[in-house]
Structure formats: C-alpha cells, structure tokens
Amino acid sequence: MQVGELIRRAGIAFGGGVAIVDNQRSITFAELDAETDQLGNALLAEGLVPGDRVAVLVPNSVQGVVVYYALAKAGLVRVPLNAREIAAEHEHKISDSGARILIHAGGDVSVEAERCIDVDELTRLAEKAPPGRCRVARAPDDPFRLAYTGGTTGKPKGVILTDRTEMAELSNMMLDLLPDIDPGDVMLHAAPVTHGSGAFLLPHLVRGATNVILDRFDPERFLEAVERTRATATFLVPTMLAMLLEQATVDRSKLALRRLVYGAAPIAPALLSRALDAFGPVMVQTYGQAEAPVTITCLQPGDHERLDSAGRPYTFVEMKIVDDDGSEVPPGTVGEVVTRGPHVMAGYWRRPDDTARAIDPDGWLRTGDLGRIDDLGFLYLVDRRHDTIISGGFNVYPREVEDVLLSHPAVVEAVVFGLPDERWGERVAAAVVRRDGGDAADLEAFCADRMAPYKRPRRLEVWPEIPKSGAGKNLRRAARDLMSQSVTSDAKQD
C-alpha cells in the first residue's frame, strides 16, 4: 500500500465531503484526489523522475497539502522546509538532499536551488498537465520523504522515511492515539504541518474527517477556531500550550475536543496539571522523534495521574531501556531509550556511518533519550543524553531542574544547561521567563528548598524570551551560547 493510494480511496469514499480548509479556500476529498493527480503528472512532465527529491517551502495551507500528496503519487521524495527557519537552514537541506526543485509560496526567496517554482507557476503547470491518474509504483522501503533532524549536535541529518514507515505511523496513531475518528470530525492544525502536526493529516483524511489549517498560532485566534469549527482533535507543542493558558481563557463548555494531543518536546508536570484543569480529561501525549516519527509511546487520557510519564509503547512498537553496552536494565534504572519496529527510519540520508551508530544489527534504534520504565511499563523520560550536566562528578538532568523552576507560580518558561567551571567541571545555569516582571532572587531560594545543592542553578537569569526552533522547541544550546557570551562579558568588565 502506498500513501498516494490512500488519497485516492478517500476521494472515492468521501467525494463531496470537505477534506481540507484554510483561511482562503476549502477542498473536497474528490478535488484533493484530482488535484494531486494533476500536479503529480505536471511534475513528472517537467522532467522529474521517481526518486528525485523536491524541497517544499510552503506555509500551512491547502496548497501545501496538495503538493505533499502529489509528490507521494508521483514517487517523488518530499523534503519539507519550515518557513520559520532561516535561509541557511533551508540551503543546507536542499544541498544535502540533492533536491532538484524548490517549490515555494512566492515572493522573495533567498534560497538557491537548481530550479525554483512558486505556487502560481505550479498551478499553470498543473493546468497543462497530461490528464489521468498519477500513480508511480514504489517499493515499500523506497524513500518517501526526508525529515531533517533538529541539528542540536551539528548539521541536521536527513532521516529516510519510507511508505512502510508512514503506514506504521498511521496504524499506530489510528489504533492507540486517535482510535475513534469519524466523518464529520475536525482536526485543527495550528502547529507547522512540516513537523508534528502534519502527522495528523492522513489519519483524518482516510476516515473522512476534515483538516482545518491555521496559517499561524495565536492563542486567542486558536481558541476561537477550536470553538467555531467544533474541532474534535488538535496538536500543540508544550510552548504553545503554555502560551494558550497564559493569554486566553478556556471555556470547556464551548469545546467539542475529544483529544488534545501534545508532544514534540518535554512538558513540565506543572504545565500539564494546568492544562488538565483547563481542558479536562482529553489530554493525550505522544512521544517520538524524527528517526521514529510521532509513535514510540503514548500517555492515554486515563493515565494522566502520572504527570511525569510519557506513557507506554504503542501496540506494535518495541521499546526498552539499555545501558552503554546495549544490555537491558531492570525497571527503575535510568538508561537510554531504544525502540524497534516498522516505525523506525530506514537510515540517515547518505550517512552510512551515522546510521550504523544509530541502529544496531538487530534493528534497535538508539534514541539518545535517557529514561526509566516502571513495573507497569510506563516510560519516564529523564533528558537527552548529550544534555546531561556533570558537576563535581554528579549527573544533573536539565529537565529535572526545569520542572522545579516551572512549578514556581511566576515562571512561564525555563531552560537549563551546563556552563564550564574550573572547579566543578560544569555548573548548572538557567534562564527563565517570568509573568510578573520579578528578578531571580526568590527563584534561587525556591530551588534551595526543592533540590540538592549540586542541582541548583549557580547562574540564574530572567530573560524576556527563550530562543526557539521553527517547531517551537526551546533551543538549549542557543540559550547556553547566549549566557556564555554574557559570562564572558562580565569577566572582561571585572
């Protein structure tokens, strides 16, 4: 089964139903099927051949989704680019993937590619395309799309995801995460569909539900859309959830939500508790990563008494915790999370050595995440392996410190990292955003009452904002670099 064939089936089954809506147009299931055929034929007529990579820089929109599934039908490999990223990041992905074409939304595009096509030209090409179905046979393990990693430890790597990967992700989501989608349901997209939110397009399309796409996230506008569209599901990253609870008032009686899915970054128990109070028992967490997209573990609505858990593995996903040698550790022991199954990437694009380091001969993917499992199989994530701070010989997990800071009633956001220290090797440092305009003095006392001395931030600053990625994640390394510059500046003044 290929992804493009699912679009065709939905077009037949749900024909005149509304498939996708943005702020400018809507498209039915039959129109989506026809337009993706037409555009896929147009791209092949332009000289592209199956397997060619096509970079797509189109913001959240109906047109962007049409492009995605046209590429699927034509056997072309999508390289999604986030409009919130900078030109240098786009250029790296285009160059690294060898993309032959960049499809963009128009206007000034400061990115070089072999050929650039805006959506207006794309429409003209589609109008002149050969008629008929667009269906290119592709083996289940041929590349379907390249999803680039966040690049937190160097240049982003291209993650090869195949039709088999996509089908595994789809099956996992529909069995465990969103098991009750029906025609008439509405999925509201406020996060970029180039990232986590895009995974929710296909489950709703194959069940005849409507995808409503917002061009950007604004807390009050988002909440109005949830109410107006009678959205039954949505997806938010924790930073968006925090903004929503800060800037908008939730009236649960006006909502039709059955699932508010959160993920893509760790969530503080204090924030999750506030979200549960606001939205009720509709919160559901999914944990995954670029190399095992979206579906490693799931925390179901009924399991949210475990505020600090990431849930249990999806039904068809294997997961365990291992030590440095790859041996499984007992429940309660912190180690690296590894996972195996058809949801795992085929490898890194043109990086066989990196692939061999990430996936062992038995197919287990080393996620780079540290965690532990309890006796009932619930996963508790500790932190990223490379983010661990070693201070005076003790391991300090930044997320643990962040959770304490975020439990302070005045703290909206927090990011914790290590800074070099001549005596201790590293010292714990933190930057926070406050809602009350206060300073760091009371936070230092707050931490002193709640954590061991070696875990407390030795440098704690209040910032107006914390650097974020295009997907809305706090950028720990960028924050560390900013504070390092501040430390250097202070030393020079002394």
The predicted structure's pLDDT at residue 196: 87
pLDDT, averaged in runs of 10, over the chain (494 residues): 94 97 96 97 95 95 96 97 84 95 84 87 90 90 92 77 96 96 97 90 98 95 96 93 91 95 87 95 96 96 96 97 95 96 97 96 95 97 86 83 92 92 86 90 90 90 89 84 77 52
The predicted structure's pLDDT at residue 109: 73
- Relative to beta strand 365-373, strand 186-189 is unpaired
Q: What is the pTM of this model?
A: 0.86
**484, two tokens:** 């390092």
**115, two tokens:** 């050929």
Helix %, strand %, coil % of the chain (to 5): 35, 25, 40
Q: Which CATH number fits domain 388-493: 3.30.300.30, 3.30.1490.190, 3.40.50.300, 3.30.565.10?
A: 3.30.300.30
The predicted structure's pLDDT at residue 493: 54
The predicted structure's pLDDT at residue 490: 60
The CATH topology of domain 3-373 is Rossmann fold (3.40.50)
The predicted structure's pLDDT at residue 154: 63
The predicted structure's pLDDT at residue 287: 95
The predicted structure's pLDDT at residue 425: 82
Cβ–Cβ contacts within 10 Å for residue 463, how many? 15
**245, two tokens:** 């609870």
pLDDT tens for residues 5-39? 999 999 999 999 999 999 999 999 999 999 999 99
Q: Would you say 269 and 262 are in contact if contact means Cβ atoms under 8 Å apart?
A: no
Domain positions in the chain are: 3-373, 388-493
**365, two tokens:** 């993917």
The predicted structure's pLDDT at residue 374: 97
pLDDT tens for residues 214-251? 999 999 999 999 999 999 999 998 888 988 998 989 99
